[in-house]
């Protein structure tokens, strides 16, 4: 079929220009119509930012920074970002974009290592299960904040214990008594503050979290009952995720315009409110004051490397998946730098928001900031909510805070679910499953909901923290290290550099080539060694996990790693060859399907004879000229010898 883009028809000319065609030149497309692409590049960047910027940026980084030397921690943090974070981010984006495949399909580069892709799927499954439970708890707190008085403000609720000690005096509850004994109440408040300073207080927010929201049991094996309000919020969370992904990247790409940007609006509002409070400067000083002597501590560098690695979402499979929907010639080098820096800048910015409020709370209680600083669920659902009760119009600030947590969580959850769905659809690859991708998305969401039900029981928080500490810990480091080794040394760094050059139009900068081959694998190995040396059995407050639960944790961690040798042995056994070495060599060779997904991009050694069923879109003059060339080739065929091949232009299109 020939499309004339140089005729007199103005409508046809307009359509040609709309599609990026130049009159008189071949019409070039860069869209994968069968698999789909992002609507535009902003959608990809926003989705990747939403994926990388998650709950850990808010509830983990500020605490790590404070604990590891304040402003001094920024130095090793940004060193690790430059030498490990950005190079690995660029590697995964270029890997997925070049092949236009998910975390399973990309391993056509070396089929023996496809187990790495299955390991990524296992990790994403674990994270997706418990991550949505955290989101559902944020939903619960969000709904609970729709009231005139936050339920965790006072200690006069049925779930409170005699040891409860609030930070807000319950004025207005009994006005008559308050008017008669005002001086006694004031004196009692002063005594209460003194008691708080001398003994460990049990706050209303902590008792609300433990005794009302969770109704926490005394042991990880004591599941108790399913907390129906949490279960309902879990269903809401999965429905929201499914609806946002109902059309894959076409729908999620539109949703991220809000979910990836509005958290910054909320952070800014909370920051402005926080820095206007008394004691905020003290909190920020705790957050940023450099303790330079800690730079010599290996643990600080280990924490910095680990935070960069886990925060960017490396080795989860999500980066490969999101990049696979890019157009082939997209500048993913630029994107990797923008997204990585945005992620780290968000972490630093969130620290100001968190510690300004915590500083205000410490000032109110007349205690040190270190006594109110916390991380993880303890910060998100205990310390920060309690601090919000001290603010005027506290329900408004609570709504904003938990809405921000919901959006941060959803941005990551979208990519986790899409990673699993894309891997399944790409692996099966039939027309039916591509047309019915929504069914696959719904099925994965239902399975994820059912697997999350045990985490909504009274022992659910124990299991959630167990999965958080073990399911995606050292296994991610091993997966990432093997991925680097496979691409750089098994497939070959020179070939991969040429692939990237063919895709981007320029080779990877020498800095990234050195990092990919040497620096990043060394840093990853350092993270693994550091993780092993610093390992301590998990605890939750005063609760020590029993040995059998820790064994389950290690099994979860190993389940993703063992995919790699198991699949490697399977692939070797199925490969051609009479000896083990021959089978090993053949199983490591790149598959014939490895390379760009679209035939127009398969140039050079990726070029293949065009099939009869392909539809070619070219200008009329070029087609007539090619026919004349073919006639001349037929006349000179006997001179050409037995090769019989026809020369093609191998210059990549701009």
How far does CA 3 lie from the centroid of its chain?
Answer: 43
pLDDT of res. 375: 83
pLDDT of res. 201: 65
Whether the pLDDT of residue 181 is over 70: the answer is no
List the structure tokens of 378: 């303890």
Domain membership of residue 540 (yes or no) is yes
pLDDT of res. 180: 34
pLDDT of res. 533: 87
pLDDT of res. 184: 36
Domain tally, the chain: 1
Nearest residue to 211 via CA among 135, 253, 160: 160
pLDDT of res. 472: 82
In this prediction, what percent of the chain has a pLDDT beyond 90? Answer: 73
CB of 283 closer than 8 Å to CB of 384: no
Domain membership of residue 640 (yes or no) is no
Beta bridge partners of 514: none
List the structure tokens of 640: 């050409």
Residue 473 pLDDT class (50, 70, 90 cuts): confident
Domain membership of residue 163 (yes or no) is no
Whether the pLDDT of residue 271 is over 50: the answer is yes
Whether the pLDDT of residue 563 is over 50: the answer is yes
Over residues 439-458, mean pLDDT: 97
Whether the pLDDT of residue 185 is over 70: the answer is no
52 is in an annotated binding site: yes
3-class secondary structure per residue, 468-485? HHHCCCHHHHHHHHHHHH
CATH, residue 445:
1.20.1740
Residue 17 pLDDT class (50, 70, 90 cuts): very low
List the structure tokens of 630: 């073919």
Domain membership of residue 181 (yes or no) is no
Domain membership of residue 122 (yes or no) is yes
Dump the DSSP string for 115-150. HHHHHHHHHHHHHHHHHHHHHHHHHHHHHHTSSSS-
Higher pLDDT, 452 or 180: 452
- Using only the alpha carbons of the chain, give its radius of gyration: 29
Over residues 315-325, mean pLDDT: 96
3-state secondary structure of 544: strand
Domain membership of residue 51 (yes or no) is yes
pTM score? 0.85
How far does CA 5 lie from the centroid of its chain?
Answer: 44
Residue 653 pLDDT class (50, 70, 90 cuts): very low
User: What's the Cα-to-Cα distance from 528 to each of 477, 553, 579, rounded to whole Å?
Assistant: 6, 17, 34
Instruction: Put residue 2 in one of left, alpha, beta given phi > 0 → left and psi -120 to 50 → alpha.
Output: beta
Over residues 372-395, mean pLDDT: 91
d(Cα 170, Cα 177) in Å, to the nearest integer?
Answer: 12
Give tens-digit pLDDT for 494-513: 999 999 999 999 999 999 99
Mean pLDDT of the chain: 86
Give tens-digit pLDDT for 592-646: 999 999 999 999 889 865 544 444 444 444 444 444 544 444 444 333 343 334 4
Domain membership of residue 430 (yes or no) is yes
pLDDT of res. 609: 57
53 is in an annotated binding site: yes
3-state secondary structure of 164: strand
Place of tokens 């690695």: 309
Higher pLDDT, 375 or 304: 304
187 is in an annotated binding site: no
CB of 223 closer than 8 Å to CB of 125: no
CB of 91 closer than 8 Å to CB of 319: no
57 is in an annotated binding site: yes
Domain membership of residue 119 (yes or no) is yes
Higher pLDDT, 607 or 555: 555
Over residues 325-339, mean pLDDT: 96
pLDDT of res. 628: 53
Provide the residue range defining the domain that includes 222: 7-156+202-587
pLDDT of res. 299: 86
pLDDT of res. 292: 92
pLDDT of res. 372: 87
pLDDT of res. 370: 86
Higher pLDDT, 516 or 8: 516
The three-point CA angle 18-24-28 to 5° equals 50
pLDDT of res. 373: 82
Question: Best-predicted range by mean pLDDT among 270-279, 368-377, 612-621?
Answer: 270-279
pLDDT of res. 19: 41
Whether the pLDDT of residue 425 is over 80: the answer is yes
Nearest residue to 550 via CA among 560, 535, 566: 535
Whether the pLDDT of residue 21 is over 90: the answer is no
CB of 599 closer than 8 Å to CB of 593: no
649 is in an annotated binding site: no
d(Cα 652, Cα 92) in Å, to the nearest integer?
Answer: 23
Higher pLDDT, 204 or 648: 204
Cα dihedral 352, 355, 356, 357 sign: positive
Give tens-digit pLDDT for 28-58: 456 788 888 999 999 999 999 999 999 999 9
Give tens-digit pLDDT for 403-416: 999 999 999 999 99
């Amino acid at each position: 079929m020939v499309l004339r883009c140089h005729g007199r028809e103005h409508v046809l000319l307009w359509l040609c220009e709309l599609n990026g065609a130049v009159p008189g030149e071949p019409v070039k497309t860069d869209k994968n119509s069968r698999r789909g692409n992002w609507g535009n590049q902003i959608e990809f960047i926003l989705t990747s930012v939403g994926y990388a910027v998650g709950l850990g940026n808010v509830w983990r980084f500020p605490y790590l920074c404070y604990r590891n030397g304040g402003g001094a921690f920024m130095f090793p943090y940004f060193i690790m970002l430059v030498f490990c974070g950005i190079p690995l981010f660029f590697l995964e984006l270029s890997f997925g974009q070049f092949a236009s495949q998910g975390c399973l399909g990309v391993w056509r580069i070396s089929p023996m290592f496809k187990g790495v892709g299955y390991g990524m799927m296992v990790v994403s499954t674990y994270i997706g299960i418990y991550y949505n439970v955290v989101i559902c708890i944020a939903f619960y707190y969000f709904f609970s904040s729709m009231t005139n008085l936050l339920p965790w403000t006072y200690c006069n609720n049925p779930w409170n214990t005699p040891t409860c000690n609030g930070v807000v005096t319950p004025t207005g509850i009994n006005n008559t008594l308050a008017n008669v004994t005002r001086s006694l109440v004031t004196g009692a408040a002063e005594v209460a503050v003194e008691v708080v300073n001398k003994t460990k207080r049990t706050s209303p927010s902590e008792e609300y979290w433990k005794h009302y929201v969770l109704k926490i049991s005394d042991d990880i094996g004591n599941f108790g009952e399913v907390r129906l309000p949490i279960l309902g919020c879990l269903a809401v969370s999965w429905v929201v995720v499914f609806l946002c992904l109902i059309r894959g990247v076409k729908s999620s790409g539109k949703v991220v315009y809000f979910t990836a940007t509005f958290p910054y609006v909320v952070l800014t509002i909370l920051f402005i409110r926080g820095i206007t409070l008394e004691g905020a400067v003290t909190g920020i000083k705790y957050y940023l004051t450099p303790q330079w002597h800690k730079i010599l501590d290996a643990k600080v560098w280990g924490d910095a490397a680990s935070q960069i690695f886990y925060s960017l979402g490396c080795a989860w499979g999500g980066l490969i998946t999101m990049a696979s929907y890019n157009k082939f010639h997209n500048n993913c080098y630029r994107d990797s730098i923008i997204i990585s820096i945005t992620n780290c800048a968000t972490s630093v910015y969130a620290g100001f928001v968190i510690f300004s409020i915590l500083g205000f709370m410490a000032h109110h209680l007349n205690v040190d900031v270190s006594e109110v600083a916390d991380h993880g669920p303890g910060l998100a659902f205990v310390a920060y909510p309690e601090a919000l009760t001290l603010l005027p119009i506290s329900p408004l600030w609570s709504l904003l805070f938990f809405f921000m947590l919901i959006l941060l969580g959803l941005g990551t959850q979208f990519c986790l679910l899409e990673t699993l769905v894309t891997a399944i659809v790409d692996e099966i690859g039939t027309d039916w499953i591509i047309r019915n991708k929504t069914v696959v998305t719904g099925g994965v969401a239902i399975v994820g909901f059912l697997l999350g039900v045990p985490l909504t029981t009274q022992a659910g928080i124990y299991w959630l923290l167990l999965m958080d500490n073990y399911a995606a810990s050292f296994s991610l480091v091993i997966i990432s290290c093997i991925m680097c080794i496979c691409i750089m040394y098994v497939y070959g760094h020179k070939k991969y550099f040429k692939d990237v050059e063919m895709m981007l139009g320029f080779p990877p900068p020498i800095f990234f080539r050195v990092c990919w081959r040497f620096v990043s694998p060394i840093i990853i190995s350092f993270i693994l060694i550091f993780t092993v040396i610093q390992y301590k059995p998990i605890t939750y407050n005063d609760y020590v996990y029993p040995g059998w639960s820790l064994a389950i944790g290690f099994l979860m961690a190993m389940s993703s790693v063992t995919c790699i040798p198991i699949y490697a042995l399977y692939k070797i056994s199925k490969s051609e060859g009479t000896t083990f070495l021959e089978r090993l060599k053949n199983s490591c060779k790149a598959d014939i399907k490895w390379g760009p997904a679209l035939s127009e991009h398969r140039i050079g050694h990726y070029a293949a004879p065009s099939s009869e069923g392909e539809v070619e879109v070219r200008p009329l003059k070029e087609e007539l000229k090619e026919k004349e060339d073919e006639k001349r080739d037929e006349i000179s065929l006997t001179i050409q010898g037995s090769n019989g091949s026809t020369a093609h232009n191998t210059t990549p299109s701009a």
